Amino acid sequence: MTIKSTGYALNPFTGKAEWVGRLRRPPYYRDSDNSLLVHVDGSDVKLLHFLIGNRVYIVNEGLTCNFATTGAGGLDRGDVAANTPYYLYAVVSSGSIKLIASVVAPNDGGPQGYELWTYIGACATDDGSATFYEFTATNGFFLTRTTLDTVSESATAGSYVEHTLNSLPITTRSIYGALIAKPNASGAGRSVYVAGNGANSSLTQNSQVASEYCHITGWVNLITAKTIYLYLENTNCSAEFILLGWQEDPTEYM
């Protein structure tokens, strides 16, 4: 069931009554039930609140986005694809709140066919298949149980090399992942780095032992959307970065 609420104040710049606060983004997740279903939990004791078109909608039941369908409750258009970020929204459809997903980010217009919406957060399909592995997302932090995307560098040493993470949402400010040092038989004691700005590494991993991989997990702050930089001390030790999650600003979009 969906009901409407009010909570307006006069905007001195427009002279109109507008909502002046922000609402908490609901957590969303994909569990083991189906690889194309994304859920938002709700109940009589766990009410959901959505601000859409200067109205607050209160929902007392769970919502599901089925990526195998098109329209409200599914994708706004097209079919789900591998290695792709999707942006999850709440919209009003036939008087009720529905979830809808789109490849279009909130700063690029939001879901097709809906002028009024509120942004919830992003998720991404696996790098090798058009499915979602289990994940949880709360307060802008998204974490998955498996690899979302991978980039590697083995050819260039002595400078930061730009790489694109295709499955990364453009709404992301920081990413979480694993940096792996991959030495060959001559690569012991060499270091690899990952950075978000082409300098000043965020994570560093030393190869330590020849032919033995080792890794470190942590955060990388981004300057350019979808872009990280890998640095090799020597080409005898290559680098790989595995994307596992990210942080969005849950207050950035309405």
- Predicted local distance difference test score (pLDDT) of residue 53: 83
- Predicted local distance difference test score (pLDDT) of residue 232: 97
What sign does the CA torsion over 104, 105, 108, 111 have? positive
If one looks up domain 149-248 in CATH, what number appears?
A: 2.60.120
Interval 38-75: pLDDT, tens? 999 999 999 999 989 878 899 999 999 999 999 999 99
CB 250 within 8 A of CB 147: no
Domain with CATH 2.60.120 in the chain: 149-248
- Predicted local distance difference test score (pLDDT) of residue 18: 62
Confidence of residue 13 (pLDDT cuts 50, 70, 90): low
Q: Above 80 in pLDDT, residue 116?
A: yes
- Predicted local distance difference test score (pLDDT) of residue 24: 85
CB 137 within 8 A of CB 86: no
What's the whole-number mean pLDDT along residues 136-159? 94
Q: Above 60 in pLDDT, residue 6?
A: no
* pTM (2 d.p.): 0.91
Going by C-alpha positions, the residue among 220, 215, 139 that lies closest to residue 176 is: 220
Confidence of residue 167 (pLDDT cuts 50, 70, 90): very high
pLDDT: is 5 or 38 the higher one? 38
Going by C-alpha positions, the residue among 139, 97, 138, 94 that lies closest to residue 117 is: 97
Residue 104, burial from CB neighbour count under 10 angstroms (0-12, 13-18, 19+): middle
Distance separating the N- and C-terminal Cα atoms of the chain: 22
Interval 200-209: pLDDT, tens? 889 999 998 9
Q: Above 90 in pLDDT, residue 90?
A: yes
Tell me which of 75-79, 107-111, 199-203, 219-223 is least confident. Answer: 199-203
The mean pLDDT value of the chain amounts to 91
Number of residues assigned to the chain:
254
CB 84 within 8 A of CB 48: no
- Predicted local distance difference test score (pLDDT) of residue 107: 92
Residue listed under structure tokens 């079919």 = 79
- Predicted local distance difference test score (pLDDT) of residue 195: 96
How far apart are the C-alpha atoms of 198 and 185, rounded to whole Å?
28
Token readout for 67 is: 């990526």
pLDDT: is 121 or 15 the higher one? 121
Q: Above 60 in pLDDT, residue 222?
A: yes
How far apart are the C-alpha atoms of 67 and 123, rounded to whole Å?
12
Token readout for 191 is: 């270091």
- Predicted local distance difference test score (pLDDT) of residue 21: 66
CB 67 within 8 A of CB 75: yes
Tell me how crowded residue 9 is: count the other CB atoms within 10 A of its CB.
Answer: 10
Q: Above 80 in pLDDT, residue 22?
A: no
Q: Left if phi > 0, otherwise alpha if psi is -120 to 50, otherwise beta: which for 200?
A: left
What sign does the CA torsion over 162, 167, 170, 173 have? negative
Helix H or strand E segment including 4: strand 2-5
